[in-house]
Chains A and B, each alone.
Chain A
Amino acid sequence: MINEVPIILFVPIVAGILAWVLDVKGVRELIGLAGAVIPVAYLIKVYPTVADGKSITYALTLGSFNMSFTLNTMTWYFAIIGAVLGLTMALGMVSTAKSGYNWLFALMSFTAVLGVFTAQDFVSFFLFWELMTFASFMMVLKYNRHASLKYFILSVIGAYAMLLGIALVYARTGALDFATISQVFAKDAQLTGLSGMGYHATLTFSRTDMILLFTFFLTAFGVKAGAFPLHVWAPDAYSETDQSYTTFFSGVLSKAGVYGIFYVLLMMMGAKLYFSLGTFHGHPLFLYIIAWIGAITVVVASFLAVLQEDLRKLLAYSSVGQVGYILLAIGTGTALGFSGALFHVLSHAIFKGLFWLVTAAVILRTGKTRFEDFGGLAEKMPITFAMGLVAVLSLAGIPPMAGFASKWLIYEAAIQAHMPLVAGAIFLGSALAFAYVVRFLYSLWFGQRPSDLDDVKEAPAPLLVGMGILGILNIVFGIAPGLVVEYINKLFRKPVITGNYYKMITPNGTYNALSVTLVLIAGIVIAGLLYVYGARARKVPVTDTYQSGNPVTEEYNLSIRRNFYRPLAEALDFWLKYSWDRFYERLGQLSEDFADVLRKSVYNGNVQSYSWYLAIVLLILALWGVL
């Protein structure tokens, strides 16, 4: 019964435990790296099988629960993204992780995420989901207690919501494995559809049930994905941890929420939700809600990202915003939208992963995180800068980068689905993305360099390798988006987007990445010829600059280090008065006693109490099932 699946699943956690136990510098890095490479290797090995539409299943019996894990076309896609990001995370951690603790929990969350992606029943799904939360929580806890608490509370809310949802499903169907539940929902959906035509039947799930289920699961997955207004944990948690780990945390863990929405809400109960909740202006209502949540997430998070003063916070808000794009694409409810969402899952993972690796390298080398402390690093860390530039181009959606290909699909999907205002949100979001990546570029890499950064060195080799992998992927999937699109077509078992490796053709639009690349290169060559013809450039120092004719020295501050986008903040001052973060904090203060109790008993960050909590939850679940 041992096939590739358990190896892929459990090698990371085993490696993590080994690294933790043998906490020796050098050894733990090797073990950790091995633990991250093996899943990738095995996932690549099973690609032919999966690509043929076959699936590889592995079942495990734990007490009275049967847990099964499957690698099929769908799950492999998410798993490989997770694994590649996990590999780059491991590469980054070779340089940044200082103890076995980091390796243990990082690799634990690696396993957990793979488990979530491959789980085929609610028990294993929930178990691995909680393992994932736990591991990432422990990673944050080590760095910042307040951030981890915020993350924890919202995760617990999500976990409860999911538990209630699962319980409801179990109570109605008596099954916990996805296959059975899917069948029940499909049948129920048919009946609901028929009942609309006057045919009366007993439904397994009433309309109220479906509204409850939708709310529960949306909350559960929304928390993990960081959807508005449940995103408040994300900026703190993403920034207050090992930045190499954030590569994985923001690149993949947030995708677990997306995966949940995609798998549970859409593939499992989508039809039923559609029939039960009805439509709004021709759009399925539940998708319409998701789309708007996505759109609001994009706009709010991007605006906040623009106004951040901390490098990690900026990227964290940006991650939240990019997940908003994915939700929005799912919300369009068309095959094109789903393709866009799936593609964006990939491209966001690779460009945001790259961003976080660059950040990890910068923070490792400078020890600073706020924008005002940086400047002029491009000369000191040229390769890191080049990789950062690739990430910037990709995130800003400059053709021909992976980020553009996926965004383009989302644009097309949103406009074709006749959701004009939602599409307007993407336009706004993309301009905001431009704005915040420029902030990242300007403050870190350009301008005047503070004197304490004069002896900064280039990033260490493992980090550079990790960046290299993601950078190349960004460019490859950008120039040949067909590689991804072809695979996504297999998921839908029909060609949603036609074309070849370089060309994507949707029903109403085309995008030929290769021709854009070639023309762009040609244009740059033409411009370069002009440049070469002119006089040879003489390098001048940064103080040899226009200051209305006045002489300046290095003692003057020539860079805008703080409040770069202050005019925007002023234009938005009315809206910035309201903050969900502060709202939650105030809510917390209102229920001070309650919070005290929670803090004392549950949320003290103690491993034992957390396990106790898990055990109790499982017990309740089991009892409910028995009842």
Chain B
Amino acid sequence: MNFDVRLVLEVIGMLLYATFMGFIFMGIERKAMARIQRRVGPPIYQPIIDTLKLLGKKESISHGFIYDFGPIFALGASITALLFLPLANFQLFSSNADLIVVAYLLEVPMLGIMLGAMSSGNPYSALGVQRGLLTMVAMQLPYGLAIIAIVQHFGTFKLGEIVALQQVHGWSILVPALLLAMIVFDIVFQAMIGLEPFDIITAPAEISMGPMLEYGGKQAAILFTQHAVQLFAETAFFAILFLGGASNLLELLIKQIAVLFIAIFVASIYPRFTIDQAAKFFWKWPTIIGIIAVLLTV
């Protein structure tokens, strides 16, 4: 890896853009929910204000080294996942890692949050950890099947090539098997970004925010930033895999927002599952559809 000024500039620009857009996505989420609930809703940049406020807290507490390290690690991992995605015409580091690496990197932040939550020693947080991990166990099978279907259809692991092939042969979802995979992935996506019916991890009425519970001030600000970056990366990941990627950032943005809106609509009409119901659900229909999808693409 030679030092490449252009790459560095691209990376910094993309980080700023992704963080900002991630916050805006969170704002869109809140605003759209509010509109569905017949309210005016907060301004669209509200999450930025919230994060600034949390960062500007004059006091901060710690339950130990890992408690502080967890959010930092989570944000670092989210940034890493983001930079290995080919975002529109910015390839960034995406030639260095492929689909499997990115799919893994997108899960690493979860471990960071869980590390921090566990070390706080709060039973509610521990329940959040339990639920988070079990959601992951539950969703991993359909998630893996959707990814396998993609890879088997395109015959490559490289995200760049997947995008290029979609540019030539049309979007993935035009292929029936991959449409099934997309449906599976969309259900999983709901759990990945923590919206109903799979917001089991935070579940305010049950475990009062779960892993986030003991965090306040700057750690919470870091977690919010992490969520923004993660939201951007995950919507981009969806767009790259199934919606033909994008040739410029605007196209990517439109696709991301489309993905986001589907998630919001689903979230606003479904209540929350309990964790064992979620596991059973994921291992029933999404898995069956996923298996059909992979068998169609063998």
Contact = CB atoms under 8 A, between A and B. Distances in A.
Contacts of B139: 431
A174 interface: no
Interface string B126-155: 110111011011111101110111011001
B167 to A, nearest CB: 18
Given A420-B298, A530-B222, 11 more contacts: A398-B108, A420-B152, A424-B145, A438-B129, A442-B118, A448-B121, A516-B96, A527-B222, A542-B121, A565-B130, A565-B133
Interface string B62-78: 11111010011111111
A24 to B, nearest CB: 42
The size class of the interface chain A forms with chain B is: 35 or more
12 contacts: A420-B152, A430-B140, A431-B136, A445-B66, A516-B96, A519-B79, A523-B83, A526-B75, A531-B219, A534-B57, A559-B126, A571-B138
B254 to A, nearest CB: 27
Interface string B254-276: 00000000000000000000111
Interface stretch (B26-34, B37-45, B97-105, B237-245): B97-105
Determine the main DSSP class of A at the interface with B: helix
A200 B30 CA distance: 75
B80 A535 contact: no
B115 A537 contact: no
A524 B73 CA distance: 6
B55 to A, nearest CB: 6
Contacts of A544: 61
Interface in A492-547: 503, 506, 508-512, 514-516, 518-528, 530-531, 533-540, 542, 544-547
Interface string B202-225: 000000100001100111011001
A404 interface: yes
A408 B71 CA distance: 26
A564 B128 CA distance: 11
A404 B108 CA distance: 12
Interface string A371-383: 0000010110000
A354 to B, nearest CB: 18
B127 A560 contact: yes
B60 interface: yes
Given A510-B98, A515-B96, A531-B222, A564 B130 contact: yes
A503 B93 CA distance: 13
A306 B276 CA distance: 15
A534 B217 contact: yes
Contacts of B124: 546
B141 A424 contact: yes
Contacts of A617: none
A420 B295 contact: yes
Contacts of B280: 571
Contacts, number: 267
Contacts of A226: none
A398 B73 CA distance: 12
**CB-CB nearest 5 A-B residue pairs:** A427-B144, A534-B218, A523-B76, A509-B157, A523-B79
Contacts of B114: 438
- Which one of B136, B157, B298 has the highest number of Cβ atoms from chain A below 10 Å of its Cβ? B157
Contacts of A503: 96
A508 B291 CA distance: 23
Contact of B60 (A515, A536, A571): A536
A419 to B, nearest CB: 9
A616 interface: no
A510 B141 contact: no
B156 interface: yes
A435 B208 contact: no
A387 interface: no
B89 interface: no
Contacts of B127: 560
Contact of A516 (B97, B130, B149, B155): B97
Contacts of A141: none
B66 A397 contact: no
A404 B104 CA distance: 9
A441 interface: yes
Nearest to A397: B104
Interface stretch (A356-364, A410-418, A582-590): A410-418
B123 A510 contact: no
Given A523-B80, A535-B59, A412 B279 contact: no
B130 to A, nearest CB: 6
Given A418-B152, A509-B158, A531-B72, A376 B121 contact: yes
A523 B155 CA distance: 31
Interface of B: 1, 15, 55, 57-66, 68, 71-80, 83-84, 93, 95-101, 104-105, 107-108, 110-111, 114-115, 118-124, 126-127, 129-131, 133-134, 136-141, 143-145, 147-149, 151-152, 155-158, 208, 213-214, 217-219, 221-222, 225-226, 274-276, 279-280, 283, 290-291, 294-295, 297-298
Contact of B144 (A404, A423, A509, A547): A423
Nearest to A427: B144
Contact of A427 (B65, B73, B140): B140
A408 to B, nearest CB: 6
Interface of A: 306, 376, 378-379, 396-399, 404, 408, 411-412, 415, 418, 420-421, 423-424, 426-428, 430-432, 434-435, 438, 441-442, 445-448, 503, 506, 508-512, 514-516, 518-528, 530-531, 533-540, 542, 544-548, 558-560, 564-565, 567-568, 570-571
A545 B64 CA distance: 13
Given A411-B100, A447-B126, A510-B95, A528 B72 contact: yes
Contact of A508 (B68, B122, B137, B155): B155
A424 B292 CA distance: 13
Contacts of B138: 571
B145 A420 contact: yes
B298 A418 contact: yes
A526 B1 contact: no
Contacts of A525: 76
A516 B15 CA distance: 16
B121 A438 contact: no
A442 B114 CA distance: 9
A514 B79 contact: no
Contacts of B143: 427
A426 B103 CA distance: 13
Contacts of A420: 145, 148-149, 152, 294-295, 297-298
Contacts of A514: 1
A503 to B, nearest CB: 7
Contacts of B275: 567
A546 B122 contact: yes
A522 B79 contact: yes
Contacts of B149: 420
A446 B118 contact: yes
B119 to A, nearest CB: 4
Nearest to B1: A515
Contacts of A415: 148, 151-152, 157
A627 B250 CA distance: 81
Contacts of A560: 123, 126-127, 130
Contacts of A442: 118, 126, 129
Nearest to A509: B157
Contacts of A520: 76-77, 80
B57 A426 contact: no
B79 A526 contact: yes
A524 B72 contact: yes
A567 B278 CA distance: 10
